[in-house]
Amino acid sequence: AATDADPVLTDGFQLVIDALKLNGIENLYVVPGIPISDLLRMAQGEGLRVISFRHEQNAGNAAAIAGFLTKKPGVCMTVSAPGFLNGLTALANATTNCFPMILISGSSEREIVDLQQGDYEEMDQLAIAKPLCKAAFRVLHAQDIGIAVARAIRAAVSGRPGGVYLDLPAKLFSQVLDAAEGARSLVKVVDPAPAQLPAPDAVARALEALKGAKRPLIILGKGAAYAQADEAVRELVETSGIPFLPMSMAKGLLPDTHPQSAGAARSMVLKDADVVLLVGARLNWLLSHGKGKTWGEPGSKTFIQIDIEPREMDSNVAIVAPLVGDIGSCVSALSTGMARGGWTAPPAEWTTAVAARREANVAKMAPKLMSNASPMNFHGALGALRRVIQERPDALLVNEGANTLDLARGIIDMHQPRKRLDVGTWGVMGIGMGFAVAAAVESGKPVLAVEGDSAFGFSGMEVETICRYKLPVCIVVFNNNGIYKGTDVNPTGGSDPSPMVFVPDSRYDRMMEAFGGVGVNVTTPDELYRAVSEAMDSGKPTLINAVIDPNAGSESGNIGSLNPTSTVRKG
């Protein structure tokens, strides 16, 4: 028992764990090593779930998507310099996508780093992290751990969410403090992301613009999905009667089968709409910056935008009615305004034209999805996966690749919010296994990861992690022997393969078997459907090598036009 002469002590290790637990952090996504190994052991001992990855980028991606799914920052922990840098890509990607996450990296001795005397894993990590995230902090004294963790959490989730870096020098962990003083130093963040109400004038301006519209359109972005204001968004869409177009990760916020969905009439609504309400969607490259051919006649659009970040307004085109606030408060204010102000539904001419185009496009696609051809093409294979998700609407879908991404986005209907997780704003390859792990850990639901063979390679080693934690993840690798296609050849006729292709007819399923998971090789959509259904029902880690025709697919999927071309090309 403790006496006055022998005060109960705490230390930096313990305070980091206490601070995270006090703030409701339950899972850590990590790669161990000096100086954080004992921290991770102790965290597990204290009941945190510690998911240990094979590469920090995957741990970081897991933390990022945990943040998107839960509205709490996902926490990734790494070692110094190289481990930190490996995690940094995920931190930057999280910030770009507005996912709240905290990267906590151990770092080397400040005195040696700052004099550049060549410490073990020496690097000025704080300076490097700063331009790539929302905020970056370093803690030098154990009594500041509580306030630093609180600050990191608030910075990650308030306003526009994003990545935060927390630098913890090795010396901090073993600093000793009186336990009572340590406890007093902890801070539980109160109301981490307070509501931000839109200005009444801005609401009135937006309603005015919407009322005058002949062909209005609502675009839902992943910000709207993140907000977890699902009922408020549904109410706005349904009260207004306006067709809606979901961006990739907003699919399912309202079901893709909703009568007002314009998902299958995308080109038409972007070209023809006259007033566009953006809800947590940015006018970046994914929406052709709000101008150009995609958007029809120059000057034909009026844009209204809901975003929590004022600087998002007028980023690409003029916003006539900027609504700065959180999604829930803004859409509710619009719904209330409509109910009060005698809202009339948009002209039937417009809504029936959108519905007709949608039905026509769906009907045109239908026979392709029924194809049972072998070798499989993308449509036949994705038709099978579409059925799997239809039958399990609460499963999470992770998706990356080029053709595998673009075609799956269009073909696989989503039925519930925040079930589709993909490459996001950067179109980054490598999110697959990190996202799949966190999706399973955070939701407890089965996860289907639909992966191009190239895309899968960026994080493929994490199949071992999936097996080790026995996660209900089914990975389908669309194996067409290469990047986009599997048919490129070396123009010189030399023995090196083209940079665009891989070992032909590889058996990715055997990677899974190496770690005790289930591996299946399939060559027809029927086999694919059966294998995936079984995996989703059993919850066993499974990898299905889906053999796709190497001729199927097009350069860069839907975005081939972004490739520069050479005027002097030989071969």
Q: CB of 312 within 8 A of CB of 286? A: no
Q: CB of 250 within 8 A of CB of 409? A: no
Nearer to ligand TPP, 374 or 506 (CB): 506
Nearer to ligand TPP, 27 or 459 (CB): 459
Per-residue burial over 52-86, b = 16 or more CB atoms within 10 Å of its CB, e = otherwise: bbbbbbbbbbbbbbbbbbbebbbbbbbbbbebbbb
Pairwise CA distance, residues 307 & 430, whole Å: 28
Nearer to ligand TPP, 229 or 429 (CB): 429
Among 153-161, 350-358, 447-455, 523-531, which window interacts with ligand TPP (CB under 6 A)? Answer: 447-455
Kindly state the smallest distance separating residue 29's Cβ from ligand TPP, in Å.
Answer: 19
Nearer to ligand TPP, 351 or 404 (CB): 404
Pairwise CA distance, residues 97 & 99, whole Å: 6
Touching ligand TPP, residues 400-439 (CB under 6 A): 401-404, 427-430
Nearer to ligand TPP, 87 or 346 (CB): 87
Size of the site for ligand TPP (CB under 6 A): 18
Closest CA to 164 of 41, 23, 47: 23
368-407 footprint of ligand TPP as x/- string (CB under 6 A): ---------------------------------xxxx---
Q: Whose structure tokens read 């920090």?
A: 56
The answer to the question of residue 557 lying near ligand TPP (CB under 6 A) is yes
Kindly state the smallest distance separating residue 64's Cβ from ligand TPP, in Å.
Answer: 14
Residue nearest to ligand TPP (CB): 452
Kindly state the smallest distance separating residue 485's Cβ from ligand TPP, in Å.
Answer: 7
Q: Whose structure tokens read 């996912």?
A: 99
Pairwise CA distance, residues 95 & 309, whole Å: 13
Using CB under 6 A, pick the residue from 453, 464, 509, 527 that binds ligand TPP: 453
Kindly state the smallest distance separating residue 402's Cβ from ligand TPP, in Å.
Answer: 3
Nearer to ligand TPP, 330 or 376 (CB): 376
Nearer to ligand TPP, 150 or 398 (CB): 398
Closest CA to 177 of 3, 16, 43, 1: 16
Kindly state the smallest distance separating residue 53's Cβ from ligand TPP, in Å.
Answer: 17
Pairwise CA distance, residues 507 & 546, whole Å: 9
Nearer to ligand TPP, 110 or 420 (CB): 420
Closest CA to 254 of 286, 220, 296: 220
Kindly state the smallest distance separating residue 334's Cβ from ligand TPP, in Å.
Answer: 36
Using CB under 6 A, pick the residue from 452, 460, 517, 550 that binds ligand TPP: 452
Q: CB of 172 within 8 A of CB of 1? A: no
Query: Left if phi > 0, otherwise alpha if psi is -120 to 50, otherwise beta: which for 479?
Result: beta
The secondary structure element, H or E, covering residue 19 is: helix 12-22
Kindly state the smallest distance separating residue 426's Cβ from ligand TPP, in Å.
Answer: 7
Pairwise CA distance, residues 172 & 127, whole Å: 19
Nearer to ligand TPP, 32 or 427 (CB): 427
Kindly state the smallest distance separating residue 99's Cβ from ligand TPP, in Å.
Answer: 17
Touching ligand TPP, residues 465-494 (CB under 6 A): 478, 480, 483-484
Kindly state the smallest distance separating residue 484's Cβ from ligand TPP, in Å.
Answer: 4
Pairwise CA distance, residues 184 & 564, whole Å: 59
Pairwise CA distance, residues 464 & 444, whole Å: 19
Which residues are at the interface with ligand TPP (CB under 6 A)?
401-404, 427-430, 452-455, 478, 480, 483-484, 553, 557
